[in-house]
Structure 1
Amino acid sequence: MSAVENAVLLCQSCGEETDHRLAYAGRLLVVTECRHCGHTIVRDVRARYLADLKQRVATKPVRMLRRFVRHPVGFTSSLPRTTMRKPSELLDEVRLVWGSRRA
């Protein structure tokens, strides 16, 4: 899943501790942007992303089974919504990773 987090970090460019926007694709940090000066660091994580995605897909059945065993009602009730949302989340991740190489 592609996620955006906020954190207070020391900016390389302006030298101040400011809010930063961190964009993740799965478990990989792709973009870091300073909210104060706009300085952006983009990482090319395409090769690592493919390896991470392969591992996530391979372990998904086990993770789903574990979640079902722990919370069968919650898992079953959330499955339709999750099934509908996952393709767009994956597409957002791919756009972030492959779009970052142009930056």
Structure 2
Amino acid sequence: MLESKLNRLSSIGVNMDASNGGHSESKANGVNGLDELHSSEADNGETEMKKDEKENSCLDLISIENEVLNLNERLEALKSDRNFLEHAVNSLKNGDEGLRFIEEIAH
């Protein structure tokens, strides 16, 4: 972050003067370097906010996708359980043989 600010400062004509701890400003194309820096930072902040919003939206979509996948897995498991229970009930209708079949499954 600091490096990018330094690059922006040098590209718009604001030079750091280490000897007196201050800075000297030069004008580039008639625009005050500091004003351009602040404008650039504001634009950069808006861009970062939009980028963050897109990342959050993407994360939300991934989260929803994972939830849907989990729900589909649970639904398939419930369908399998239902099929098994239907088969078990039908086996019980076959009298003693069906009962023995269910007892074997239970043990």
TM-score, with structure 2 as normaliser: 0.30
Structure whose residues are more often strand by fraction: 1
TM-score, with structure 1 as normaliser: 0.31
User: Rg bigger for which structure?
Assistant: 2
